[in-house]
A and B are shown apart, each in its own frame.
Chain A
Amino acid sequence: MLKPILLVEDNPNDLELTLIALSKSQLANQVIVVRDGAEALDYLHRRGEYSQRSPGNPAVVLLDLKLPKVDGLEVLKEIRTTDGLKPLPVVMLTSSKEEQDLVRSYELGVNAYVVKPVDFTEFVRAIADLGIFWAVLNEPPPGSQKYVRPTK
């Protein structure tokens, strides 16, 4: 069983676009969607709504920077300061390359920082590359499907 990808995204349009991009990348991983930072932490900590979920961390967290209640940086910070969550790969997804966000994210130990490209094709490629690297290459779980990039 592949570890799932945790997608933290509040904006419905971004959510739809990201899901489409992920599906286009043909990753076999399940995608868990949460809609704000608080919910993401609930999922990771297996509490609240997610107290009953089976244990285990996702393969990667795709984290939007701007989120209601608890923003992406706060989620990242908590991940990096919580035992058991520390090694979790986190990819920050954001609309812009504001330097302050970039600096802060790397300070907090983000694994990758992706500025969502305006062009959808590029967006799909970026999401696919991310998924391949973090969900598959980085930590190939035993018995998992080998990913073969589709030829165009």
Chain B
Amino acid sequence: MEILQFTSPRAHLHMNPASSVPELDLSSCDREQIRTPGSIQPHGFLLTLSGDMEVLQASANLGDWAGVSAQAAIGRPLAEVIGEGTARRLAPELGAKLGPRPYYVGTVTTANHRHFDVLGHRWDELTILEFEPTERGAAADFRQLYSLLGDFLQKVNGAESIESLAQLACHHVRAVTGFGRVLVYQFDRDGHGHVVAEAKQDDYASYLGQHFPASDIPAQARQLYALSPIRLIQDANYTPAPLVPALNPVTGKPNDLSFAVLRSVSPVHLQYMRNMNTLASMSVSLMVKGKLWGIISCHNEGPSPVPFEQRTACEQLGQLLALCIESREDAHELQFRLEVRRIMVSMLAGLTQGSNFIDNLSSVFPELLRFARASGVAVVVDERVLSFGDTPEEDDILGLVDWLALQHHGDIYHTDHLSAAWPGGEKMTRNASGLLAMPISRIHKHYLLWFRPEFVHTIEWAGNPHDKLVQASAAGLPMQLSPRTSFAAWRETIHGTSVPWHGGEIELALEFRTALLGIALERAEQMAELAEELTRSNKELEAFSYSVSHDLRAPLRHIVGFADLLIESSGNDDGERRMRFLKNIKDAARMAGKLVDDLLSFSQMGRASLRPADVDMGDLVAACIDKLSLETKGRRIEWDIAPLPVVHVDPTFLHLAMYNLLSNAVKFTGKQDPAIIRVSAEDRPDETVIHVADNGAGFNMDYVHKLFGVFQRLHRMEDFQGTGIGLANVRRIVERHNGRVWAESVQGEGATFSFALPKHESN
């Protein structure tokens, strides 16, 4: 139906060796040289000129129009062919002004008193002049054009949709040209066309809503349409006028007539037009964002000239329509993306909530569906499938993921026809004809999958597009490429495909993936931290069990040993000895109890979670001292408590740490009178430091590295009682607040224990 620009009807035969049945390859039209037909349509004439206005070539019909034969014109100055005065008038326009696209040079009258509109362009190293006959002797009048465009612009604002905009353009183009039928034809991504708007005379068949296969307008023609805005075939029954001589004298090759308005078209296409009962046709390119969006296509049953100024008007209308389409599409696109983005942002917010990434994903399943306008979604992690909505069976999903993993699709894979890409997709066409698959791990077979159901729909083709080959081969050998003859509506039901994925959906899915990986990465870091934490707890646990086997066994052995000795010594009278054994048994039993208590408290500390609050260290220290009163009874202790800050910590834990430090100080000053214990604070830029200093026994700095270890003792048991857990607890508590502990001492003069709590932990 369109203005096919095939060149010659050379049949492209490919012999099939197996069957020897020739196959006609219509896609070979894509390779036809439509730009170099070697002739023009005869409703005007064409001259090619050298730089100094000498005629190099003329169309063979020159004599019909200008009264000078083509042969006679070759090698002559332009003035001698079209008249001195006319040539002089044109001369100033043919200089630097001429560009690669036809430009209206003026309206001239030739020596034989005929009027012509003259279009000139420089291309293929020639000046190409095209002369189209006109009734008027004066320059073209564009006033009509202004009112037409003004009217169109006014009405554009009221048009709701792209379809109604296109409809408006059809009416205007028909009003300008008087063609019987004008329609707007939109290309899909595969090059198939779809008629979105139409204006026609009542007795013309309607093509509105119909689809035309891509082969109707080969890719090469579409490329040319993108370059040149308008084409006209005035009469499909024309006899082409060849160029004389046939080759461009400058290049020695056939002339490139890509932009010549009179360029001749393929006889195949002319046949196509006649099949369509169309003798005149015109098409205007609709370029949206630099791409051929569609065309305004005009047909007339009879021949129909379209003068230059009318074509200009249509061209302008086409540009305006394209601009309007672009802005509408932009607006739609923007709106669409905004909505998808909004859903994505709300999903991401949900995803960062919990700690389990997969559970998080499943918690936003409804949003995931809306995000991709899908009807089913599934998260596949290893062999685990979590699905929501209408999805294939779990085994089928796993099969699909196996296939996907082998394909290396990169960041994202999408199809609206899964069964065409993967045979396994055939059994899931009902709910998974469309697939958007997103790998969410670079290493593992983890996928997020969106499914779209089959969208069974009917395409109304203008003629059965699959018929071309049949007709051609039926014609037998030698085969002539013949365009289809039937344009009767032919319905095709499309199975196995879904509604296609929108470009915005795919782009945002990519963005979503990046965000997901970001979250996963953050999660991984947390996991690494957790692992580190676990390693540490594990070490402590090992130390714990080690201690249980060592330290808890000892008191038990002591009890048994002294009990044996007690029994053994029951015969003799050494009462003092027996008393000591009894005391040892009692001590050992008490020790065992204390060890159990301490070990339990130590193990609990690793598990309990922190509940930080603002804690006044002054109050906390006072409470600890109060609690220590039983142990300090009868001793002289000078407490020197400096003003202490408020810190943001877990009150229970910090109380325990502080108590341990103060209790230590009390213990190791046991031989001092008076004992002096100082508590002070230090305000550093990033941390708050608390010091507990005493004038007690102190310790040897050589062993300071063992000080905070579990069950490490630096003193003899009988000198200072204890299980060796207190300082391990302090370290553990402080470290869980992301702080650090340290100690300094001069043996015999006292020790200072310090811990620092980071300030950023508080809020």
Q: Is B72 an interface residue (CB 8 A)?
A: no
Whether A68 and B553, one on each chain, are in contact in the complex, defined by CB atoms closer than 8 angstroms, is no
Contact with B along A115-134 (1 / 0, CB 8 A): 01111110100000000000
Q: How far is the CB of A16 from chain B (nearest CB, A)?
A: 7
A32 at the interface (CB under 8 A from B): no
Which of A14, A20, A68, A95 has the most chain B CB within a 10 Å cutoff? A68
Given A13-B584, A14-B558, A116-B557: A94 touches B550 (CB 8 Å cut-off): yes
- Could you tell me the distance between the alpha carbons of A118 and B553 in the complex, rounded to whole angstroms? 8
In contact, B561 and A120 (Cβ under 8 angstroms): yes
Q: How far is the CA of A119 from the CA of B702 in the complex (A)?
A: 37
A98 x B561 contact (CB < 8 A): no
Give chain B's interface residues, CB within 8 Å of chain A: 546, 549-551, 553-558, 560-565, 584, 587-588, 700, 702-703, 706, 711-718
Q: How far, in whole Å, are A70 and B545 apart by their CA atoms in the complex?
A: 21
Inter-chain contact B564/A11, CB cutoff 8 Å: no
Contact B562 A17 (CB under 8 A): yes
Given contacts A20-B565, A69-B706, contact A118 B550 (CB under 8 A): no
Taking chain A's interface residues, is the majority helix, strand, or loop, or is none over half, making it mixed? loop
A96 close to B700 (CB less than 8 A): no
A13 to B586, CA, bound (A): 11
| B558 A66 Cβ-Cβ under 8 A | no
Chain B nearest Cβ from A68, distance in angstroms: 4
Q: Are A120 and B703 in contact (CB under 8 A)?
A: no
Kindly state the interface size class of chain A when it binds its partner. Answer: 20 to 34
Q: Is there contact, CB below 8 Å, between A98 and B717? A: no
- Inter-subunit contact A118/B557 (CB<8 Å): yes
Could you say which residues of chain A place their CB within 8 Å of the CB of B546? 98, 100
* Residues of chain B contacted by A119 (CB below 8 angstroms): 560, 564
Residues of chain A within 8 A (CB-CB) of B564 are 119-121
Sample of 16 more A-B contacts, CB < 8 Å, known A35-B716, A116-B557, A119-B564: A11-B558, A13-B561, A14-B557, A17-B562, A17-B565, A66-B551, A68-B712, A68-B714, A69-B700, A95-B554, A95-B557, A96-B549, A98-B546, A118-B556, A120-B561, A120-B564
Task: Please give me the residue from chain B that is nearest to A21 by CB atom.
Answer: B561
Q: Indicate whether A12 reaches chain B with its CB closer than 8 angstroms.
A: yes
Kindly identify which residue among B562, B711, B712, B717 contacts A11, using a CB–CB cutoff of 8 Å.
B717
Contacts A/B (CB < 8 Å), 28 sampled: A11-B558, A13-B558, A13-B561, A14-B558, A17-B557, A17-B561, A17-B565, A35-B716, A38-B703, A66-B550, A66-B551, A66-B711, A68-B712, A69-B702, A69-B703, A95-B549, A95-B554, A95-B557, A96-B550, A96-B553, A116-B557, A117-B557, A118-B556, A118-B560, A119-B560, A120-B561, A120-B564, A123-B557
CB distance from B316 to the nearest CB of A (A): 91
Contact B716 A95 (CB under 8 A): no
Contact B560–A68 (Cβ < 8 Å): no
A123 CB contacts on chain B under 8 angstroms: 557, 561
Instruction: Collect the chain A residues with CB atoms within 8 Å of residue B563's CB.
Output: 120
A23 to chain B, nearest CB (A): 12
